[in-house]
Amino acid sequence: DAGVIQSPRHEVTEMGQEVTLRCKPISGHDYLFWYRQTMMRGLELLIYFNNNVPIDDSGMPEDRFSAKMPNASFSTLKIQPSEPRDSAVYFCASKTSGGAGGPGELFFGEGSRLTVL
């Protein structure tokens, strides 16, 4: 079975440019998460969705960041305009609600490594 698929795997861009990161969650998973990882700050939760609806976006750094989930099989994280401090690895992850057993395992994509010059 295909896991969480992210694209692009690597992106190098110049300050001020728009960046769009894409994610396809595992089929049947009803939760989708976007994280950002840096050496200094670790793995930070940016936003998460349940059934395509944003539940908590309190981790989104500022208005330059936006995320959408137009359907159950696709999500985007957009940065406009990008800045050097946005350089990080961005992970998308998905999971099921797990039923009576509680929250299921979180499955991560391989990440999108963003470098803003």
Partner 1 sequence: RKEVEQDPGPFNVPEGATVAFNCTYSNSASQSFFWYRQDCRKEPKLLMSVYSSGNEDGRFTAQLNRASQYISLLIRDSKLSDSATYLCVAVTGGFKTIFGAGTRLFVKA
Q: Which residues bind partner 1 (CB under 8 A)?
A: 31, 33, 35, 41-43, 45, 48, 50, 55-56, 91, 95, 97, 102-103, 105-106, 108-111
Nearer to partner 1, 81 or 113 (CB): 113
Least spacing, CB of residue 82 vs partner 1, in Å:
22
Task: Report which of 30, 28, 64 is spatially closest to residue 46, judged by C-alpha positions.
Answer: 64
Least spacing, CB of residue 93 vs partner 1, in Å:
8
Nearer to partner 1, 42 or 70 (CB): 42
Nearer to partner 1, 81 or 89 (CB): 89
Least spacing, CB of residue 60 vs partner 1, in Å:
14
Nearer to partner 1, 65 or 91 (CB): 91
- Using an 8 Å Cβ cutoff, are 81 and 16 in contact? yes
The token pair at 38 is: 């840096």
Cis peptide before 81 (omega within 30 of 0): yes
